Amino acid sequence: MTGGSTTPPRGRALTWLAVGFLCLDGVLLLLAGMWSSRGGLLLGGGACLAGAGAVLWLWRRQQRALADLREARLALQEEARSLRALLRRER
């Protein structure tokens, strides 16, 4: 797997923006729930923070899958080139 990211900068920025908003909402809901002793707000804050973690985890998993696909595509292209060269030599 290559070290570079396969996501364009715009997609990467949108992902981090979504994670940032989810974290901000989660922290604010947790603080509001602790301040007002309301369990629903605590639950909502925890859900937002868990959602932010899930977005990051799924994004990283997608990046690894895209990198694997890119490597497989490049290997297939190289194999096709070598087969074409072999066919040209056989004629």
The CB density around residue 23, as the number of other CB atoms within 10 Å, is: 17
The pLDDT assigned to 10 comes to 83
Q: Is the pLDDT of residue 2 over 80?
A: no
| Angstrom distance (rounded) from CA 14 to CA 26 | 18
Domain boundaries, the chain: 9-90
Q: What is the pTM of this model?
A: 0.72
Per-residue model confidence as pLDDT tens digits over 20-63: 999 999 999 999 999 999 999 999 999 999 999 999 999 999 99
Single-letter amino acid, residue 16: W
For the CA atoms of 16, 19, 25, 29, the dihedral, rounded to the nearest 10 degrees, stands at -150
